[in-house]
Amino acid sequence: MSLLDIKGLNLSIHSTQILRDVSLSLEEGKVLGLIGESGSGKSMTALSVMQLLPNGAEMSGQIMFADRDLTAQTESQMCALRGGDIGMIFQEPMTALNPVQTIGDQVAESVRIHKGFGRREALIEARKVLDKVELPAAEFPLNRYPHQLSGGQRQRVGIAVSIACNPKLLIADEPTTALDVTTQAEILALIKRLVLEDRMAAIFVTHDLAVVSDLADSIAIMKSGEIVEAGPTRKVLAEASHPYTAALLEASAHAPERFDVSADTPLLEVRSLTCTYPGRRQHLLHKPDPKIAVNKVSFTLQRGESLGLVGESGCGKSTLARTILGLITPQSGQIALDSGTVPNGQPMPRHMRAKMQVVFQDPFSSFNPRHRVARLITEPFHLLPNPPKGAERENAISDALASVGLAPSDARKYIHEFSGGQRQRIAIARALIARPELILLDEAVSALDVSIRAQILDLLSDLAQKFGLSYLFISHDLHVVRAITDRVLVMKSGKIVESGSTEDVLHNPVHPYTRSLLAATPVLSI
């Protein structure tokens, strides 16, 4: 018998159709992976089960949970189910917990509501649950506050809140998306263990097929509010009978055609570069110890090469990128680009900066919303001694837009008229327009859906060949690095711990950190 049976679910919010005829079922103790790109309606399906939809939502259809139709429950009946028989984990561990309440109280609250325990009893129970999610009492007493914990630890607290009353069904909405790969692997292992131990059924909502491929018994693939394909995981992945599933599979393993254009002449040479930040002041009169963000880093990037830089958040890769771009003056070390060298302790000269550009991760914050595309993409002209004017400028704009697959008429539009993928193309056009030698791609495809990501990777590969560009490709995602780079640097705690050709490093990692990164990276198992 099914624990959860969704039949013909339709949902519209402010009369915009979000879900169309969604039907799903889930057996007791089984895991369902609900997969889709952004806007596919996967999260709204999960929230429909919780009956926690935003204002203006209208729903029709049936959601049967253990013989009760959730769409017909009163609000107080739903309150008894939420956190009781159905628990839910959310994406953003940094904001999902109340910042002014202790973790003990937050976990205990679930127990107090559903089991009617007093505070003291509930806290004893909370302690047990926190132990269960591997937050031991010695390091994580009940009176800790969320801000004293890391993202992964906070997500464990979030899990503890949701499983405190031994739910029959656990809904996890992108629970690992905001986390680093190694933390993601730990959280995935934890969820897997809890589901098995307590024989919980679970719905795992994600955009990443690889994350659920060895966790879910069955998967359902969503697109534009509809389920396009559903069935046992192995069968769906092996057969990929629906074209969208096939396209999704192709895109997530996509490797663009690469052309070897690298020459053996160094373009960028970084020599024992060190950057420090002033640390937190411990005492009013005590000078704070500096924090070392980048520690004696040296590497060479050859002309025409695509070099990967891999590391988890806080490893110093962003500081390194900003130093290379001349935004941060390093404490010591040297940067040489082409034939120019930065004089020691001096800001980077303009003619060197003109040879580099950057594409950032977030296509939504990369552009001034008040400027038109023409003005946005010509900003790097500021670096040129004689920037093009008049017709010459117009041609440069059209060329740049054309080379990223946009129309010249797009120059007159504002940035909000474009989708995420188009914005990333505009960001690349901005990087190209001043004809740089080197483009830094700082997690440039990380925020994109897999299908868009594949297109952007193809574009980058084409452009490298066409303009003889070199890339420094910064990413946390080993799949992407494998697809687009020739050589790779692995960075940890401000140091390069391993470097070599991408194939070698990813197949025969030497450093234990590289190995743990590889082990943690989810692999699509078909």
Partner 1 sequence: MLRYALKRLVSLLGALAVASVVVFAAIEVIPGDPAAYMLGLNAAPETVAALRAELGLDAGPIARYINWVTGMLQGDFGISYTYRTPVSEMVGDRLWISLPLALYALALSTIIAFPVGIWAASKRGTSVDIGIMGFTQLGVAIPNFWFAMILVVIFAINLRWFSAGGFPGWGGGLFPGLKALTLPAIALALPQASILSRVMRSALVDMLDQDFMRTARAKGLTQGQALRRHALRNAMIPVLTILGLQFSFLLAGAIIIENVFFLPGLGRLIFQAIAQRDLIVVESVVMILVFAVILVTFLVDLAYAAVDPRLRVH
Partner 2 sequence: MRSLVIGGLLAGTFLFAALLSFVWTPFDVTELDIAARLQKSSMEHWFGTDHFGRDLFSMIMVGARISLAVALVAVGIGMGLGVPLGLLAASRSGSLLDELIMRSNDLIFAFPSLLIAILITAVFGPSALNAIIAIGIFNIPVFARLTRGGALSLWTRDFILAARVAGKGPLRISVEHILPNITNLLIVQGTIQFSLGILAEAGLSYVGLGAQPPTPSWGRMLAESQTMISFAPHLALYPGIAIILTVLGLNLMGDGLRDITDPRIRRTGR
Binding mask 4-43 for partner 2 (x = CB under 8 A): ----------x-----------------------------
Q: Where are the alpha helices (DSSP H) in 142-223?
A: 151-163, 181-198, 209-213
* E strands, 382-422, in order: none
Interacting partner of 361 out of partner 1, partner 2, none (Cβ under 5 to 8 A depending on kind): partner 2
The reply on whether position 280 binds partner 1 by CB under 8 A is: yes
Helix 151-163 crosses helix 181-198 at what angle (to 10 degrees)?
A: 20
Token pair 């897999």: residue = 450
Token pair 């509501």: residue = 113
Our CB check for partner 2 shows the closer of 333 and 380 to be 380
Interacting partner of 360 out of partner 2, partner 1, none (Cβ under 5 to 8 A depending on kind): partner 2
DSSP letter string, 327-384:
SS--SEEEEEETTEEPPTTSPPPHHHHTTEEEE-S-TTTSS-TTSBHHHHHTGGGGGS
Answer for which of 325, 396, 441, 456 binds partner 2 (CB under 8 A) is 325
Nearest to 474 by CA among 367, 321, 330: 321
CB atoms within 10 A of CB 409: 10
Interacting partner of 339 out of partner 2, partner 1, none (Cβ under 5 to 8 A depending on kind): none
Question: CA 197, CA 212: separation in Å to the nearest integer?
Answer: 18
Is the CA virtual torsion 409, 415, 417, 423 positive or negative? positive
Question: CA 358, CA 332: separation in Å to the nearest integer?
Answer: 23
Which residues, 408 to 447, sit near partner 2 by CB under 8 A?
Answer: 430
Stretch that binds partner 1, among 80-88, 297-305, 366-374, 399-407 (CB under 8 A): 80-88
Answer for which of 57, 113, 336, 383 binds partner 1 (CB under 8 A) is 113
Our CB check for partner 2 shows the closer of 343 and 369 to be 369
Our CB check for partner 1 shows the closer of 121 and 462 to be 121
Rounded least distance, CB 57 to partner 1, Å: 14
Interacting partner of 97 out of partner 1, partner 2, none (Cβ under 5 to 8 A depending on kind): partner 1
The reply on whether position 367 binds partner 2 by CB under 8 A is: yes
The reply on whether position 76 binds partner 1 by CB under 8 A is: yes
The reply on whether position 407 binds partner 1 by CB under 8 A is: no
Which residues, 23 to 62, sit near partner 1 by CB under 8 A?
Answer: 50, 52, 55
Answer for which of 101, 143, 368, 501 binds partner 2 (CB under 8 A) is 368
The reply on whether position 53 binds partner 2 by CB under 8 A is: no
Our CB check for partner 1 shows the closer of 91 and 514 to be 91
Dihedral angle at the C-alpha atoms of 469, 473, 479, 482, nearest 10 degrees? Answer: 50
Token pair 């960001």: residue = 427
Phi, psi of 337 (to 5 degrees): -125, 125
Answer for the pair 194, 159: CB distance below 8 angstroms, yes or no: yes
The reply on whether position 45 binds partner 2 by CB under 8 A is: no
DSSP 3-state of 221? strand
Nearest to 486 by CA among 307, 314, 277, 339: 307
Rounded least distance, CB 280 to partner 1, Å: 8
Under the rule (CB under 8 A), what is the footprint of partner 1? 50, 52, 55, 75-76, 79-84, 87-88, 90, 92, 95-101, 109-110, 113-114, 145, 147-148, 158, 161-162, 280
Give contact residues for partner 2 (rule: CB under 8 A).
14, 55, 322, 325, 327, 350, 353-354, 356-358, 360-362, 365-370, 379-383, 430
